[in-house]
Amino acid sequence: MSARSHTSMTDFELAMYYQFSEVQKRQQYLTMSFFADKAVIVGKYCLFAIFEGEEYLRSFEIEVIVSHDFPNIPPIIKETSGKINRKIFPHVYSDGSLCLEVKTKIILELRKNPTLCFYFEHFVDSYFLSYIYFMKHGRMPFGERSHNDKGTLEFYKELFGVNSINIAREFLIILCERNLKGHNPCPCLSGNRYRNCHHDKISALKNSGEFYLFQNDYKTITSGK
């Protein structure tokens, strides 16, 4: 870390120093520096976990770039020692960064828990655990998320609490573009009227501070194919 006095630090730098000191309690081989308004965390990341009675102990080399707008922009993480092979393990973006989760889901979770500790313990630990598990068992331990629009819709399926991605797509349209009158049958096929079923959930999301995220996803999905 740099030896600059606290008076010359920005609020972002101060917050990152504080948060990073918490991360270092578990990850002492990581270091942090600042570059062009971003925090850059590099070094050896150690995973230690017990899952399904098996012990997981492995280290990875990581580079994490934390934006000034954290947590509204999620960090970008790469594994730099080449351990994660995209040909074998597909959850890596074309630029080499790791696909930890659907972006909107990461932002929603980070806004509830806006700390680097949570980011590492919640997303990075499960990613590396999944990787080791996958290499050993040939499948993902927590269920596999599809890529691109399908993966996004799978996330909305969970968010809306519905049974299929087609119904999730329909609710996303209702959320972002077209209102549905309360007396209509609910698109979730429960047999109830919309007003007595999903209406409150959808309008809560519409009025939430995260609505812009849903709109962005909706635009991406509808502009695609």
Q: CA dist 172 to 9, 134, 197, 203, 213, Å?
A: 42, 32, 16, 12, 12
169 near Zn ion, judged by CB under 5 A: no
186 near Zn ion, judged by CB under 5 A: yes
190 near Zn ion, judged by CB under 5 A: yes
170 near Zn ion, judged by CB under 5 A: no
Tokens of 23: 């991360």
**Which of 103, 169, 198, 199: binder of Zn ion (CB under 5 A)?**
198
Q: In the bound complex, what is the minimum distance in angstroms from residue 181's beta carbon to Zn ion?
A: 14
Contact region for Zn ion (CB under 5 A) — 3-11, 113-121, 193-201, 208-216?
193-201
197 near Zn ion, judged by CB under 5 A: yes
d(C-alpha 117, C-alpha 49), whole Å: 16
222 near Zn ion, judged by CB under 5 A: no
Q: Let me know: does 61 contact 43? Beta carbons within 8 Å.
A: yes
Contact region for Zn ion (CB under 5 A) — 12-20, 35-43, 130-138, 197-205?
197-205
Give the relative orientation of helices 199-206 and 211-224 as an angle to the nearest 10 degrees.
Answer: 100
Query: Locate tokens 């040939």: which residue?
Result: 138
d(C-alpha 189, C-alpha 3), whole Å: 61
In whole angstroms, what separates CA 124 from the centre of its chain?
Answer: 10
Nearer Cβ to Zn ion (57/189): 189
66 near Zn ion, judged by CB under 5 A: no
The total number of residues shown for the chain amounts to 225
Longest dimension (CA), the chain: 64
201 near Zn ion, judged by CB under 5 A: no
SS3 145: coil
Contact region for Zn ion (CB under 5 A) — 13-21, 101-109, 163-171, 183-191?
183-191
116 near Zn ion, judged by CB under 5 A: no
202 near Zn ion, judged by CB under 5 A: no
Q: In the bound complex, what is the minimum distance in angstroms from residue 122's beta carbon to Zn ion?
A: 29
175 near Zn ion, judged by CB under 5 A: no
Q: Let me know: does 83 contact 60? Beta carbons within 8 Å.
A: yes
- Judged by the rule CB under 5 A, the positions of this chain that interact with Zn ion are 186, 188, 190, 197-198
